[in-house]
Structure 1
């Protein structure tokens, strides 16, 4: 469900020494071992893939924790001959669902050869149109190239489903793609305004940096609990935190790439990311990090100028 991601251009930011700090309290919107939701409209998951035990491919980026860079916003189901296909257009509200899909290549046949990217061959995301629901899943693939993403129960409304992957052969080998499709969950929909950041489970996240639309910019995230810096973050997807962003209004996708190298179960309190958000406006950030064997998902609204 995403667009091809050739290497993203880096723009040099000139205003040295003027980086303003934006500290927004945000809390883990829940913690879970299997991705269950702990908050209405907020789902998050890390379901294991049968193929996830492979080691990272040598073609991965050369920065610690950096996966292939993605260009574009992921709002198309096709790019450079690659297409995200699925027969599922509607899903039932309030029930777990197995969403099945495939990626076809320029030859029209299902792709079955994918590179490992941040320990997985496929990253799959579900986001509700008002950005109040979120799931991050690692689906499993059958021999014929059919993927199955086991979604937790969805609330009524329109959802966009993203697939992030890198072909390991063929015309697109080594290029990152983010393709997406929409599904409808029938029923009476209520739109929820983006909630303010709130402390949950005692975790508070502060974001320092002032991203500008379309410009690469370093960003630092700090994690605290009970007012004390957190230093026991455990590796998750080969880094100490996974940060995904969606744009308010069109659900455009962005992955903020981690640059902090994971080394043992003592990450934090500061984590570095390379932020490049292409469009001005509100972005909903979902930070996933692990402590004590539990995965936490924290949500934050960040305004980009």
Structure 2
């Protein structure tokens, strides 16, 4: 079971501690929000989401720690990715099925943040990122259109909770994008990024193993911008650890109407470098700002 649990307005918060170094990476443009579901999950629990959750024990010993998103199978559920390759800079489709313990497709899910399932696609170098909301056919097959601009190796994350399950799951599988490949590195740390004319500032000092605050403020032409609700929140944050792409989905403290700043508290268990992807909505459109965050190796506890 993953130790990384969701936080925010949905439960007992663990806190996210990255390190003092922050920075922007590639900026990802608007993505489709998809149709809204009438139901909203109020208690988003489980692997990959920051919220307090007791570890299961076997014969008195805690289960081994496995970060979310690193396994294709967990808790009897498996991610069956039908699409294993796409062509760079060409419209394509990601198709997959979530299978239960009996191997049959799962067709019943809990609604969490207005969706049954959230799909994240990220390149291994973490310079490309997509937050998608696929549609599910009656037979349990999920599909989502996507265009990935750069060739290389990608990771696909399915973030969901089966109906009747107590915990959220984040399963991952690999995807290849063919084409002319050029090695890339995550951008250097900075505190501000601009996307589509909106400036997003990151505030807060984060340390691995310690709870601390992350605040994101959005402005345009020097004036604060009121954030609009998106999937039931003023913002959504996904963190991916460089190297193995361990997955962490964090949610904000509150959803105050008209807020110009969204704050998060989360916790990552290890030192290293992380990519932070903030989804925010302004003027009717969802945008993503990407940052790089490095942990402070000397501050723990």
User: Does the pair score TM above 0.5?
Assistant: yes
- Distance in 2 between the 1:251 and 1:12 partners? 19
Per the alignment, residue 267 of structure 1 pairs with 259
> Which one is further off, 145-154 or 109-118?
145-154
For residues 152-211 of structure 1, give each alpha carbon's deviation from its aligned partner in whole angstroms, at most 9, with x where no partner exists: 234210000000001112xxx131000010011123321212124543333222223222
Q: Is the 8 A contact 2:159 2:169 kept in 1?
A: yes
Q: Is the 8 A contact 2:204 2:213 kept in 1?
A: yes
- Distance in 1 between the 2:125 and 2:15 partners? 33
Count of aligned pairs between the two proteins: 274
Per the alignment, residue 165 of structure 1 pairs with 160
**Residues 1:105 and 2:105 are matched in the alignment:** no
The RMSD of aligned alpha carbons is: 3.2
Per the alignment, residue 183 of structure 2 pairs with 191
* 2:250 pairs with one of 244, 256, 278: 256
- Distance in 2 between the 1:293 and 1:20 partners? 31
Q: Which has the higher contact order (CA 8 A, sep 6+)?
A: 2
* 1:277 pairs with one of 268, 273, 292: 268
Change (3 A) 1:154 1:182: farther
- Distance in 2 between the 1:160 and 1:28 partners? 17
> Deviation of residue 12 (structure 1)?
8.3
- Distance in 2 between the 1:114 and 1:67 partners? 20
Change (3 A) 1:156 1:60: closer
Query: SS of 1:91's equivalent?
Result: strand
Structure 2 gap ranges (5+): 54-65, 297-301
Per the normalisation by structure 2, the TM-score is: 0.80
- Distance in 1 between the 2:251 and 2:52 partners? 8
Change (3 A) 1:228 1:21: farther
**Residues 1:247 and 2:241 are matched in the alignment:** yes
Per the normalisation by structure 1, the TM-score is: 0.79
Structure 1 gap ranges (5+): 14-18, 36-45
